[in-house]
A and B are shown apart, each in its own frame.
Chain A
Amino acid sequence: MGSSIKNKLSITVFLFTVVTLVTFISCSTDETQTVTNLTSLTMSDEFNAPGTPDPTIWGYDIGTGQNGWGNNELQYYTDRSENIIVEDGMLKFTVRQESFEGSNYTSARVLTRGKFEQKHGRFEARIQLPWGQGIWPAFWLLGDDSNGTEVWPQIGEIDIMENRGQEPTLVSGAIHGPGYSGGESIFKSYELTNDRFDTGFHVFGVEWGENYINYYVDDVLYNQITPADVPGEWVFNDDFYIIMNVAVGGGFVGSPTDSTVFPQEMLVDYVRVYQ
């Protein structure tokens, strides 16, 4: 979720590689990959109780953070039901275009910091994404800061799913750590064929062990990142907490335009964590 600025050429080349790999991986799993099936449930929220999200699991980030949460994002995060509510068996994020506390957009960012944190495991959520230029939904994990003694990127960041609203068929998964953060993060994209992420629900997850993070969308394992893939210290053997949010604007997606439709919704059917 750190700002990722890459020049256009390298992205293009990278995407091409991804498409090729996806085709390959989705056909058969590489022998050298570590694949586990973690099935012992340690936390789940099925969002079946209408109203405010379960306060024993979810807290909120409020406001605009520093410098638009470090990314020049345009939204003001609130915990109002207009922006975040459990309804119809879903956690519903609503992104609004409205003048609020000096911002032109409102949205929400929920997190399990201090409520649920876990080292390693399988983290997944079933989500229908919002859409449109400048909309930036994310489902990600951030490392505990050890009571403020560590700072990003040393604490580590695992982005399970990020999407640019203008790219409705693409998501990406990334990790950020010391020496490989922001635009230097280690990431890979995944493209749906003959479908989009904003017209139905898809499962986004990682299976994370001591020396690997496997990324999957639905039943397709599309990437594995290991210490050998990162140019710096492997900082993913610690407690991490979950964050879900929908940002507006910022370097990763660019600003919304007149054609961006508001309000936008991100619907989360469930979040489940296994060990």
Chain B
Amino acid sequence: MKNKRLIKIKRAFVLGLVLTLTLGCERDLTDDAVPATFAKVGQVFIDDFISMGSNFYFPFEGSKLDAFSVDTEEGYDSSSSYRIDVPNSNDPTGNYAGAILRIDGAGRDLSGYDALTFWAKASQGVSVDAVGFGQDFLENKFQVNASDLSVGTNWAKYTIPIPDPSKLTEERGVFWYAAGTQATGGSGYVVWFDDIQFENLGTVAQPRPAILFGNNQAEETFTGATIELTGLTQTYHLASGIDQTVEAAPNYFAFTSSNISVATVNELGVVSIVGGGEAIITATLDGVDADGSLNITSLGSFSPAPVPTVNATNVISIFSDAYTNEPVDYYNGYWAPYQTTQGQDDIEVDGDNIIKYTELNFVGVQFAVDVSTIDVSQMTHFHVDIQVQGNIGSGDYLQVKLQDIGADNAFGGTDDSADQLTLTNTTLVADNWVSIDVPISDFAALTSRSNLAQVVFISDATITDVFVDNIYFYELSAVPSEAAPTPTLPEANVISVFSDAYANVAGSELNPDWGQGTVVTQESVVGNNTLKYAGLDYQGLQLGTTQDVSGMTHLHIDYFTANSTALNAFLISSGPVEKAKALTVPTTSGWVSLEIPLADFNPVDLADIIQLKFDGNGDVYLDNIYFHN
């Protein structure tokens, strides 16, 4: 008995071997081949739903939820069809009809079909925005969109090819559509679908996949940037002679980078720049080379613009990752016919979005037509970070223009106003970020600020390549809203001139009469005594006794100014010998605590300090002026 049984097993083994060998000759199974165990039903709606389960209708958000019904009078070759009543654009219950049909239950194996087909007609000739399959509100892994499907008033058959049927071994999203009224002037209409099914037509041929809509796109970028490949399409020639193009989800494609030390690309078509150099991203779909490529030149590491520090509550932002931005019409309007400027918010480096303009002559960021204009009348300052690429010649300039369209909220008329700031090589620095902070009042001809519509950059091609970031308006309060930070250094390490925290040098004159126009007062800010210079031109501070600060290392100053555009601090020794230190103004995020190394004041004699002095303009608050080590 035992022996017999052994023989049987041996036979089975031999048979198994033979079968395996035969299969091996016929076709190599790929590693990710999975035995298909799902239903191969192709039919979705043939006068009624086929094997869809009970809970299969999922309308899109914002769509009219009950736009779909089964029509029991109309049908293709029948008296039943899938009907959608596209609502008028002003329908409060939803202004379009869109939904997915997702199988309630296990997915289907559609790998034996080559197309989704259906018959359709409409109550008037319409262009249906999109029809497709593969959308399941889960991963939408194999989504396919056929856009702008022209549907007439007679029944006609439509064929939506499957980009690569072998991918659809377990698909639940068997049909989806979105139909609005943009092309009908807002008027609703009816579309009937019937005989919605996957078919193996055998005539879907000549695949021509593409990425980036078949363009060979060049992109200059940086390490850390990510670029999402778009324009992923598959085109088939149908028996009717029509070339049917569909948008295909990235998962249908296999992406390749020619140089993975520069760029990598994942299965979702997201390119990550990982180093400097050049790389070319290409793709195939079911073994067919896709038209189009992304030709990357990575310039290596990238220095982002300084992160804004102004409190978000005081900001109206047009373009910044630090704030919530106002909606815009665009970051580049490509104004015909004279604009040459290319590029917009194209660069994203480690989550930081940057506008890149090339071939600049002029370009506008607009917020007026599809979105509301912006009221910046409560704002006091305008900020923008600019990095000019390449050399800046002596006659080169970049103007930043603010355009308001006035109370009529329309371009033209008598209430438009605008003014501009002109930046030259005295401000701009080649290949470096420069932060521009200017009072809006500097835009003197901008007489209205309640309906701001554009920020325009103009170089007349003197400067052609720029990065722009952090375009925002902000309000600087004229008065500090909080006290300067309380010093924490021990008294022993400090020689204090003006502070509530320390014993100050006795007998000092805070307002010596040097002929200045500055009005000096001491004001309490949140209970803290503060020195205020109003209308600063220059202002001295006479120490009660000569101070030897050679044992100290730093001069500490807390300062605040909303409106100063120039401010210098001086240290003075006998002679007099004086040396200025420029302070950054205005202080856009409250008090600035500055530690100035005393060495910066060379050649002032640190053993013989007699006076301090400030010059500049605006209204300046000072506190905690002391030497320390």
Contact A169-B203, Cβ < 8 Å, known A131-B237, A133-B241: yes
Q: In the complex, which residues of chain A have a beta carbon less than 8 angstroms from the beta carbon of B481?
A: none
Number of A-B contacts (CB under 8 A): 34
Q: Would you call B203 and A167 a contact (CB within 8 A)?
A: no
What is the bound-complex CA distance between A167 and B239, given in angstroms? 6
Q: Would you call B206 and A194 a contact (CB within 8 A)?
A: no
Q: Which of B200, B205, B208, B243 is within 8 Å of A196, CB to CB?
A: B205
Q: Would you call A196 and B241 a contact (CB within 8 A)?
A: no
The answer to the question of B16 belonging to the interface, with a C-beta cut-off of 8 Å to chain A, is: no
What is the bound-complex CA distance between A194 and B114, given in angstroms? 11
What is the bound-complex CA distance between A95 and B501, given in angstroms? 91
Contact A198-B205, Cβ < 8 Å, known A131-B237, A133-B241: yes
Q: Would you call B237 and A132 a contact (CB within 8 A)?
A: yes
Is chain B's interface secondary structure helix, strand, loop, or mixed overall? Answer: loop
Interface residues of B, count at CB 8 A = 11
The answer to the question of B596 belonging to the interface, with a C-beta cut-off of 8 Å to chain A, is: no
- The residue on A at minimum CB distance from B238 is A168
Min C-beta distance of B147 to chain A, whole Å = 17
Interface residues on A, range: 10 to 19
Q: In the complex, which residues of chain B have a beta carbon less than 8 angstroms from the beta carbon of A71?
A: none
What is the bound-complex CA distance between A275 and B88, given in angstroms? 72
Q: In the complex, which residues of chain B have a beta carbon less than 8 angstroms from the beta carbon of A192?
A: 203
The answer to the question of B534 belonging to the interface, with a C-beta cut-off of 8 Å to chain A, is: no
Q: In the complex, which residues of chain A have a beta carbon less than 8 angstroms from the beta carbon of B203?
A: 168-169, 192, 194-196
What is the bound-complex CA distance between A167 and B200, given in angstroms? 18
- 0/1 string, B198-213, CB within 8 A of A gives 1: 0011110110100000
Q: Could you tell me which residues of chain A, from 159 to 177, have a CB within 8 Å of some CB in chain B?
A: 166-169
Contact A194-B201, Cβ < 8 Å, known A131-B206, A261-B206: yes
Min C-beta distance of B97 to chain A, whole Å = 31
Q: Which of A133, A168, A259 is within 8 Å of B239, CB to CB?
A: A168
- 0/1 string, B510-554, CB within 8 A of A gives 1: 000000000000000000000000000000000000000000000
- The residue on A at minimum CB distance from B241 is A166
Min C-beta distance of B487 to chain A, whole Å = 75
Q: Could you tell me which residues of chain A, from 140 to 186, have a CB within 8 Å of some CB in chain B?
A: 166-169
Q: In the complex, which residues of chain A have a beta carbon less than 8 angstroms from the beta carbon of B202?
A: 193-196
Q: Could you tell me which residues of chain A, from 226 to 266, have a CB within 8 Å of some CB in chain B?
A: 259, 261
Q: Which of A133, A166, A194, A261 is within 8 Å of B200, CB to CB?
A: A194
Min C-beta distance of B495 to chain A, whole Å = 82
Q: In the complex, which residues of chain B have a beta carbon less than 8 angstroms from the beta carbon of A193?
A: 202
Q: Would you call A199 and B205 a contact (CB within 8 A)?
A: yes
- The residue on A at minimum CB distance from B206 is A131
Min C-beta distance of A169 to chain B, whole Å = 5
- 0/1 string, A109-135, CB within 8 A of B gives 1: 000000000000000000000011100
Q: In the complex, which residues of chain A have a beta carbon less than 8 angstroms from the beta carbon of B241?
A: 133, 166-168
Q: In the complex, which residues of chain B have a beta carbon less than 8 angstroms from the beta carbon of A196?
A: 202-203, 205, 239
Q: Would you call A261 and B208 a contact (CB within 8 A)?
A: yes
17 pairs across A/B with beta carbons < 8 Å?
A131-B205, A131-B206, A131-B237, A133-B241, A167-B239, A168-B237, A168-B241, A169-B239, A192-B203, A194-B200, A196-B202, A196-B203, A196-B205, A198-B205, A198-B206, A261-B206, A261-B208
Chain A interface (Cβ < 8 Å from any Cβ of B): 131-133, 166-169, 192-196, 198-199, 259, 261
Apart from A168-B203, A194-B203, A196-B239, what 10 extra A-B contacts exist at CB < 8 Å? Answer: A131-B237, A133-B241, A167-B239, A168-B205, A194-B202, A195-B202, A196-B205, A199-B205, A259-B243, A261-B206
